[in-house]
Each structure stands twice: as structure tokens, then as C-alpha cells.
């Protein structure tokens, strides 16, 4: 693996949209939906309940239900009842869903690698180092009164 690929991986993790509040709100909104669910399942590497997915992505259960139904139709996930609690729906990736996640991540990393390569090794390394510092330095948004 060359240094640009390694820096692209670092950049990918630095740009991960799990942070809350401005300027991340627009990025978070843009990735909500099917790819967000697929990415979560791929990252977790386990079966998750629909409720766990809803909480992890901060999406309503009705929105998650609609997204899951669409993903089932596309053959990207499997939904099944929890044998221990028939009220719970368990969700897992199909091989097709996992392959799509891998392909999309690889494409994103390749685009980032090309961007970093265009900067040159020294500037790319400096950019990634500073980006990581900026992301880590951003304060967490205040909790809503409802969450307290």
C-alpha cells in the first residue's frame, strides 16, 4: 500500500460523519437512508435489530422501516424475526449488500487517494494531519433539553 492510499484511509476516517452539529448536519443529512443503513451494518459486522439501527442513525422507526423494506426488495439485506422475541426484527447484510458496501468504500477511497495525490505527498500529509486536528477539536453540540 502506498503512502497516498494510507493517507486516503486516514482521510476517510477523519471525514466520517458521526459527529453532530454544524458543519456536520448537512453531511449527516446527505448520507441518511439506504447507504447509511448498509454502511452501519457493514461496519458493525453483525446482525442488528431495527431499533438498534434507528437509534444508531438517529432516524425514526417509521423511516427505518421504509428504508429496510426498500433494501429487502433490492436483495441487499435480510429481515427476520428474533427467535427469542418475535416483536423484534433482526437485520443483516446479504452478500450482495456487503459487496456493494465494499465497492462503494473502495471507490470513495480511490477518489480521495487521487485528490491527495494531486496535492503532492507533503501537502497531502499536512492536509490530512490538519483535517484530523480540526475534526477532533470541534466541540460537541449541547444536548437538547429532551435528551437530558
Radius of gyration, CA atoms only, the chain: 18
Q: Rounded mean pLDDT of the chain?
A: 82
Grid cell of 76 as nine digits:
441487499
Give the architecture (CATH level 2) of 3-134: Orthogonal Bundle (1.10)
* Whole-number percent of the chain with pLDDT over 70: 81
CB 97 within 8 A of CB 71: yes
Average pLDDT in the 58-79 region?
A: 92
User: Which candidate, 125, 99, 142, 141, places its Cα nearest to that of 14?
Assistant: 125
Supply the pLDDT for residue 19.
Answer: 53
What's the pTM value of the predicted model, to 2 decimals? 0.65
Check: CB of residue 109 under 8 Å from CB of residue 5: yes
Mean pLDDT: which of 25-34, 78-87, 90-99 is highest? 90-99
pLDDT tens digits, residue range 15-42?
Answer: 665 555 544 554 444 356 888 999 999 9
Kindly report the number of other CB atoms within 10 A of residue 112's CB atom: 21
Taking 50 as the threshold, does the pLDDT of residue 12 lie above it? yes
Q: What is the pLDDT of residue 20?
A: 53
Domain locations in the chain as residue ranges: 3-134
Q: State residue 88's pLDDT score.
A: 87
pLDDT tens digit string along 99-138?
999 998 898 889 889 989 999 999 999 999 998 888 887 7
Amino acid at each position: 500500500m502506498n503512502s497516498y492510499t494510507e493517507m486516503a484511509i486516514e482521510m476517510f476516517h477523519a471525514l466520517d460523519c458521526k459527529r453532530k452539529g454544524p458543519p456536520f448536519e448537512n453531511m449527516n443529512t446527505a448520507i441518511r437512508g439506504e447507504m447509511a443503513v448498509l454502511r452501519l451494518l457493514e461496519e458493525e459486522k453483525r446482525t442488528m435489530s431495527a431499533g438498534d439501527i434507528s437509534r444508531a442513525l438517529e432516524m425514526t422507526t417509521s423511516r427505518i422501516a421504509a428504508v429496510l423494506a426498500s433494501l429487502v426488495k433490492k436483495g441487499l439485506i435480510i429481515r427476520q424475526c428474533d427467535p427469542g422475541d418475535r416483536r423484534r426484527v433482526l437485520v443483516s447484510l446479504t452478500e450482495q449488500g456487503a459487496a456493494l458496501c465494499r465497492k462503494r468504500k473502495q471507490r470513495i477511497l480511490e477518489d480521495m487517494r487521487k485528490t491527495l495525490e494531486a496535492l503532492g505527498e507533503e501537502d497531502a500529509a499536512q492536509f490530512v494531519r490538519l483535517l484530523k486536528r480540526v475534526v477532533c477539536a470541534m466541540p460537541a453540540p449541547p444536548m437538547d433539553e429532551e435528551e437530558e
